Structure 1
Amino acid sequence: MYTDLILVYLHALILVPYTIQQDGASFMPVFDTSTINLTVIQGRTAYLNCTVDYRGDYKVAWLNPENKVLTNLEKRIIDDTRIALPRNSLNDWTLYIREIQHYDEGVYSCSINTDPVQTKKVYLKVLVPARIIDHGTSHDIQEEEGKTVQLICNATGIPTPTVQWFRHIPKTSYEKATKEGKAVVEPGEVLLIHNISRYCGGTYECIAFNRVDKADSHQIEVEVIFRPEIELPNRRFSQYLYKETILQCIVRANPIQFLEWQRNGIRIESSTKYRVDLYDDHFEINTKILDLNIHSIQKEDYGNYTCVASNNLGKDRETMILYEAVELTKPPLTTTKLIPTTKQTKDYPSYEVYENKKRPEKQKNGQPTRGNYRPRSSGLKVFSPAEHILFCFILIRFCAL
């Protein structure tokens, strides 16, 4: 029992050292001087812990990284209202810094004016979430096909953020997309697109992240302009008189500033005779279809029709021919008639084939007359009765073997 009391007493001597002064006994403050490493995300509140037991008449003060005094006891002695010392208990001297910023980073000191002065250091590190700043970042651009396009995403943050580029796939494109409907392209703050084509246009998005907080993103609309290109599904088209027909012209261009059908160099307008329809191609971007509907075709409607398209970059035209459809007549059919001959026996007649319904007349000697009628053999051999009997006898002997 006495051993346990001695151990407790020695433990108290270690934890609570004291000195004897002339006016009596007084305890020295108990102060943990171990260093603290504190990491806080910018914009949040930093809590710099400091605990002092048995402070007595000693004073506690906080100093910033520039060694400027922030607080003296409970009082804040600087104008920065973000700093507070609420003291939730007698031994609590935790310093609060609200809306922490990157410039607040550094070594803070919690000190007691003992002799020598005791100090507890807190190393404050401020992490800055990834942000894309407007200055130096690209915005929506328009560029001609075949040029080089440079997209810049100016990102900042601590630690340095990683920038990843994505391209949103247009709904009318057949390109392969990821599950999110985006195609991944090269990483980095600068994206270069060499020899850009009309199929490279669309929405590009850069995403900056450094695993501190939520990622930041920025979208850039890239529009690729190019001169018109006309395609005619049919360059020659036939139709009957008094029928209706539709001539079709497919135009690929960006932008499409001028588009029309012409006849003999004159623009064709919608009327009772013609109807001109323009609509988008739902399977290909930057593509228009111009239809010319011609009602009740007359003789004078046959001829050349020209589709014309132009913009600031160039012009294109293609011509198709509308001609009259002619119904083809069928050639006369050749008939064949079998006429029995009387050269053979009555029981086994033979046949001759003639290329006309009428059998040619014979001369007096029984031979056919010369001319266009020439008999031809049917290809059948006629046997006499004796030959039939001999054939059957041979067949029976063969089967008996």
Structure 2
Amino acid sequence: TPFSFHTKTARFSVVGRAMKILPYVSCVPCNPFSSLPLAGSQVQFPIAHNVTVAEGGTANMTCRVEHNDNTSLQWSNPAQQTLFFGDKKALRDNRIELVRASWQELAISISEVTLSDEGQYTCSLFTMPVKTAKAFLTVLGVPEKPKIGGLTKPAMEGDQITLTCVSSGSKPAAEIRWFRNEKEIQAGSKEVNATGKTFTVSSALRLQVDRSDDGVAYTCRVEHVALPASAQQATEVLEVHYAPRVEILPSQTLPQEGQYLKLDCISKGNPLPDSVLWTKDGGELPDVDRMIVEGRELTITSLNKTDNGTYRCEARNHLGTSSAEYVLFVYDPNALEQNGPDHALIGGVVAVVVFITLCLIIVLGRYLARHKGTYLTHEAKGADDAPDADTAIINAEGNQAHAEEKKEYFI
């Protein structure tokens, strides 16, 4: 008669005279035909889910069984090393801890996850036969903070430069975006190189710099699924040297005798010109007592006709020289006061004359349009071939087809 019994280490099954030792499953009475589900019993299957975690984070692995008849659960790693058997820890790894253990659930955690922890983990339910569930642990490689290379400070206006942004340690490969003063610009070429389990990503941005790039911030931003909250980024501020540009701004538009005039020489360059040079008509300023230079400003006091001429401001740095000119004409204040009313009077008279002329042209045109026809003088009326009055009226009201028959006679 078949029978079975259990010990702490093995289960012995005897059928007739044959006896075989089976692996230990549990310390509860079992049926010799336990490999087959009993009538009315519910099949037991463990359930586990894949886990994704960033490198350095904590992975929580959970295995559940909806219907369990007090059979133990076990977690093992990709190397088939047992991590936990029920609530008993089997592997000496301080990073692995027990979260919950019951007949229906076995949950563990792995802290400070590394790329080497990635792989397929197995949850085993020790029934006959043993049932398993697989859970794949995916470890994301966090990209390192990018670095921008290839920038030589300062750059010269017109130079061609290439900014290279490099970030390593990402898994999967990270994305790189470029920004000019927080406004995204089109990136250049991108390269992805595998280094073990991670990737090194680089992106090149080619520029032809000009003075508008001076002080502009170029930012390289690395985006990755392991960085959901904020991206890693690096920023470089360009310094561009360029030759100066000069502009002269006068303090007034109609300088008059007796007044003062201030000319401001605006020079923009990098590096900024240390000083500017003022000249008049190609030579030095003739009257240094009245023509005072302070920094970039030239002030002329008590203007008179002798101050008329061309004033030139010149600025330079190590990249070049630039200049601007201002033509000064000093006005007579009395002439400006007299000319003002005369111009207004002349303008008014001209406007009236033009208006009257237009009115006369319109009236004359209407008069001529209403008096078209045949006109005869008294002498012509006495002629034999002269038409009578009725005929003249009919001809005057006739259509344009008989326009060539109309006659006019003048004394």
Give the TM-score taking structure 1 as reference length.
Answer: 0.55
Q: Which has the higher helix share?
A: 2
2:257 is the counterpart of 1:256: no
Amino acid at match of 2:217: T
Following the alignment from structure 1 to structure 2, what is the Cα–Cα distance between the partners of residues 72 and 137?
52
CA shift, 1:318, in A, is 4.1
CA shift, 1:255, in A, is 2.7
Report what 2:219 is aligned to.
Answer: 205
Residues 63, 105 of structure 2: 8 Å contact kept? yes
Report what 1:219 is aligned to.
Answer: 235
CA shift, 1:151, in A, is 1.8
Following the alignment from structure 2 to structure 1, what is the Cα–Cα distance between the partners of residues 135 and 75?
10
Report what 2:187 is aligned to.
Answer: 186
Following the alignment from structure 2 to structure 1, what is the Cα–Cα distance between the partners of residues 376 and 277?
83
* Among 309, 322, 328, the residue aligned to 1:316: 322
Matches within 5 A, 1:154-173: 154-156=166-168, 157-168=170-181
Residues 48, 123 of structure 2: 8 Å contact kept? no
Following the alignment from structure 1 to structure 2, what is the Cα–Cα distance between the partners of residues 322 and 155?
61
Moved more, 158-167 or 67-76: 67-76
Amino acid at match of 1:314: G
Identity %: 25
Residues 145, 234 of structure 2: 8 Å contact kept? no
After superposition, give the CA deviation of every residue in 1:235-282 in whole Å (9 maximum; x if it has no partner).
xx9844322223343433223142324247879xx99964758xxxxx
Shift of the 121–211 alpha-carbon distance from structure 1 to 2, 3 Å rule, reads closer
Following the alignment from structure 1 to structure 2, what is the Cα–Cα distance between the partners of residues 313 and 21?
99
Residues 42, 100 of structure 1: 8 Å contact kept? yes
2:161 is the counterpart of 1:149: yes
Amino acid at match of 1:223: E
Following the alignment from structure 1 to structure 2, what is the Cα–Cα distance between the partners of residues 246 and 193?
45
Residues 165, 204 of structure 1: 8 Å contact kept? yes
CA shift, 1:97, in A, is 2.1
Shift of the 311–24 alpha-carbon distance from structure 1 to 2, 3 Å rule, reads closer
Residues 230, 316 of structure 1: 8 Å contact kept? yes
Q: Secondary structure at the match of 1:93?
A: strand
Following the alignment from structure 2 to structure 1, what is the Cα–Cα distance between the partners of residues 108 and 146?
35
Q: Secondary structure at the match of 1:199?
A: helix
Report what 2:399 is aligned to.
Answer: none
Following the alignment from structure 2 to structure 1, what is the Cα–Cα distance between the partners of residues 28 and 128?
18
CA shift, 1:317, in A, is 3.6
After superposition, give the CA deviation of every residue in 1:333-369 in whole Å (9 maximum; x if it has no partner).
xxxxxxxxxxxxxxxxxxxxxxxxxxxxxxxxxxxxx
Following the alignment from structure 1 to structure 2, what is the Cα–Cα distance between the partners of residues 128 and 227?
48
Moved more, 26-35 or 192-201: 26-35
Q: Secondary structure at the match of 2:208?
A: coil
Give the TM-score taking structure 2 as reference length.
Answer: 0.54
Q: Secondary structure at the match of 2:212?
A: helix
After superposition, give the CA deviation of every residue in 1:120-167 in whole Å (9 maximum; x if it has no partner).
4322112346x4524456789541111122222223533222222222
Following the alignment from structure 2 to structure 1, what is the Cα–Cα distance between the partners of residues 299 and 78?
82
Shift of the 314–108 alpha-carbon distance from structure 1 to 2, 3 Å rule, reads same
Shift of the 252–32 alpha-carbon distance from structure 1 to 2, 3 Å rule, reads same
Residues 86, 102 of structure 2: 8 Å contact kept? no
Report what 1:40 is aligned to.
Answer: 53
CA shift, 1:38, in A, is 3.0
Residues 132, 218 of structure 1: 8 Å contact kept? no
* Among 70, 85, 96, the residue aligned to 1:83: 96
Report what 1:93 is aligned to.
Answer: 106
Residues 273, 294 of structure 1: 8 Å contact kept? yes
Residues 151, 161 of structure 2: 8 Å contact kept? no
Unpaired runs of at least 5, structure 1: 1-18, 169-180, 278-289, 331-390
Following the alignment from structure 1 to structure 2, what is the Cα–Cα distance between the partners of residues 395 and 74?
145
The Cα RMSD (Å) is 4.8
Amino acid at match of 1:225: H
Q: Secondary structure at the match of 1:154?
A: strand
Matches within 5 A, 1:283-294: 291-294=297-300
CA shift, 1:78, in A, is 5.4
Amino acid at match of 2:237: E
Shift of the 93–140 alpha-carbon distance from structure 1 to 2, 3 Å rule, reads farther
CA shift, 1:223, in A, is 2.8
Shift of the 315–297 alpha-carbon distance from structure 1 to 2, 3 Å rule, reads same
Residues 176, 220 of structure 2: 8 Å contact kept? yes
